[in-house]
Amino acid sequence: MHKLFLLGTVLLTAATAASAQTPTSTQAHQAKTVADTLVIRGRVTDAGGQPLPGVTVLVKGSTIGASTAANGTYQLSVPKASKILVFSAIGYVTQEAKLSSQQILNVVLAEDRQQLNEVVVTGYGSLQQQSVSGSAATVVSGRVAGVAVRGAARVRGNRGAMPSGFSPAYPAESSESYATIHENGYHDARRDPLSTFSIDVDPASYANVRRFLNDGQLPPADAVRVEEMINYFHYDYPQPTAQEPFSVTTELAACPWNPQHQLVQVALQGRTVETQHLPPANLVFLVDVSGSMSAANKLPLVQAGLRQLVRELRPQDRVALVAYAGAAGLVLPPTPGQQREKILTAIDNLSAGGSTAGGAGLRLAYHVARENFNKEGNNRVVLATDGDFNVGESSDRDMEQLITEERESGVFLTVLGVGEGNLQDKKMELLADKGNGNYAYLDNMQEARRVLVQQFGSTLFTIAKDVKLQLEFNPTRVQQYRLVGYENRLLAAEDFNNDRKDAGELGSGHTVTALYEVVPVGAPPVVDNLKYQSNTVPAASASAELLTVKLRYKEPQGSTSRLLTHTLSGAARPLTQASENLRFAAAVAQFGMLLRQSDYRGTATYAEVARQAKAARGQDADGYRAEFIRLVHAAEGIRPAPATYGAR
């Protein structure tokens, strides 16, 4: 196998040098293309002037289009003969705008309440199967041999016209997999005062939920991880002032979905390190180019995202590219960041086909990363896949063992999930969790840019690892408590002091938010008092400590944890007097519980969630909170459909 990889690398070098002599297109063709098109740009807002992300912008009568970014802006190259652009989004009245000689076209969309109340899921028809040829283990001309696609997947059904490059391929029956979530229940503060869990900063669940809602469907319950939805958003917590890599903030307020309860917010703010001051990066892009990746929202989206990331690289950074289909191959050896054209060419030359040797790809990628390990830098494998491993190590147990072994080398893992229909969310979440890394789902180009460019430091540069939280509740003030979300991040109490126990990682500038629903002493208990044990507790004033937060973390390359402590005292504030941070996080938590049809959602409604989110929207420079409010309105009008997704 080693000789085969060396042979593939030699062939790649020779073929790449030869292909460099032949231009891919003529200057005359480029000039004609520019002359025949017009670049239209602008901004789409609602009636209140707030930006609308995710609006589809189409040239009428064609499939030429774009989607608005988080701040509502768009840019589109249209044929000069085009007359009309069509702007459409779920929950808004579709609007047509005439094109003129002006190149700036701003549009205001009005809400369509009738549409929101009449959205019904009717299915998406059937998928015509694609034909894929071959599978081989060598690398030639920057492509994994034998992975060229013969034919392409096409969608039939009632989706209507979509922009080129934006149409997902929906199968008639989904084989997506999600880990089963059993929601956290209440714990008695006298008998079980400790709550211990690993932090989680993965944004994957929110982007995946957004994909379902934008397509007019409610997500399957197990696709909704409430803590990931909360932590998708940035919050205004103070930067650390001491030597620690993060600050700790706590707050207590009335619970919005149960007025007799209280809501505790525990938040971390990672130190923000400017890109120019980040340590050098040793990155290995590991790209799945199997046949299941041929859809427009899979490999082409990954390539577009990686191209954007490459533009952020510095001369001190190094990048390698490994691709895997029927076998794995080194497409690009470690290359300095300033050689962008060489890196971009390798990315552009990838094409999809063949089966999926995920285990072989991971082993080779880790091998390349270890061979070029930078003791002073950030060493990371960036895996882009739909998670559909079916050759080599394929079981969750095998993959978990492989990743657990490899993480000891000090190489971290970032997982980028793409696609729909066969998205293996469960497997990708597991890989990121065991690989000392993070997991993001890319549902569109804007999300790819957000993860790989706007959050370059927080996504790819770890400032603390194995971060654990342990809260001890004071039973003189707390009867019962419930952690909202983090079901797959729970730890045993004894795991907190065990430095061999793996936990979550925190990136540069990352925020972490956790919410607890608390039943205060004096409120009706959610669990009846015991008959044969004493139920009396000493009285405590509202100024007494409610809880103590203990936190452990390690340096990125360290092996011994450090301990921090923080206490929360004082009375609960009315919700209207709580910070925007707590109020917006509470709105997102309620939205997640509503989508899950949680038994703990209390009085929460979509209308009330939207109202609370609007009141706590704050500055919202990027428009993500405005988009959240739009999604809440969209979800309110979608009729639940029979579940077709399940844990596998």
Question: In this predicted structure, what is the pLDDT of residue 457?
Answer: 74
Q: What is the pLDDT of residue 469?
A: 97
Q: Are 257 and 393 found together in one domain? A: no
**Among residues 94, 118, 142, which one ends one of the domains?**
118
The pLDDT of residue 377 is 87
pLDDT tens sequence across 395-442: 667 777 888 888 888 898 999 999 998 888 988 888 888 888 889 999
pLDDT band at 136 (very low <50, low <70, confident <90, very high): very low
In a domain, 148, yes or no: no
Q: Is 429 a domain residue?
A: yes
Q: Tell me, what's the pLDDT at 415?
A: 93
Whole-number pLDDT of residue 152: 27
How buried is 530 (Cβ within 10 angstroms: 0-12 exposed, 13-18 middle, 19+ buried)? Answer: exposed
9: in domain: no
Looking at the fold, whether 429 and 377 belong to one and the same domain comes out as: yes
* Sign for the pseudo-dihedral over CA of 597, 602, 607, 611: negative
In a domain, 134, yes or no: no
pLDDT of the residue at 388: 75
Task: For residue 100, name the pLDDT band (cuts at 50, 70, 90).
Answer: confident
Query: Looking at residue 426, which CATH number applies to its domain?
Result: 3.40.50.410
Give yes or no: residues 204 and 327 share one domain: no
CATH number of the domain that 213 lies in?
2.60.40.1230
Domain range enclosing 377? 275-454
CA atoms within a 13 Å half-sphere pointing along the CA-CB vector of 18: 9
Residue 301 lies in a domain: yes
**Which of 412, 427, 454 is a domain's end point?**
454
DSSP label of 544: S
The pTM for the full model equals: 0.77
Q: In terms of residues, how long is the chain?
A: 648
Interval 449-477: pLDDT, tens: 999 888 877 777 888 999 999 999 999 99
Give the end of a domain, one of 75, 102, 118. 118
Q: Which of 300, 395, 3, 329 is nearest to 135 (CA)?
A: 329
Are 420 and 517 in the same domain? no
Give yes or no for residue 151 having a pLDDT over 50. Answer: no
Q: Are residues 410 and 516 in the same domain?
A: no
CATH number of the domain within which 92 lies: 2.60.40.1120
The number of distinct structural domains making up the chain is 3
Residues 262 and 299 in one domain: no
Whether residue 560 is contained in a domain is answered as yes
Are 301 and 446 members of one domain?
A: yes
Q: What pLDDT does residue 399 have? A: 72
Clarify whether residues 486 and 441 are in a common domain.
Answer: no
361 and 382 within one domain: yes
Judge if 372 and 350 occupy the same domain.
yes
pLDDT exceeds cutoff 90 at 174: no
User: Per the domain annotation, does 314 fall within a domain?
Assistant: yes
More confident residue, 354 or 384: 384
Same domain, 401 and 356: yes
Which pLDDT score is estimated for 395? 63
CB under 8 Å to 345, separation ≥6 — which residues?
16, 142
Residues 258 and 302 in one domain: no
Q: How far apart are CA 215 and CA 121, in angstroms?
A: 9
CA-based nearest residue to 141, from 347, 339, 331: 331
Q: What is the pLDDT of the chain when averaged over all its residues? A: 81
- Quick check: is 371 in a domain? yes
Answer yes or no: is pLDDT of 143 > 50.
Answer: no
> Which tens digits make up the pLDDT trace of 324-351?
876 678 999 999 999 999 999 999 999 8
The tens digit of pLDDT for each residue in 497-543 reads: 999 998 988 988 899 999 999 999 999 999 888 778 776 777 666 67
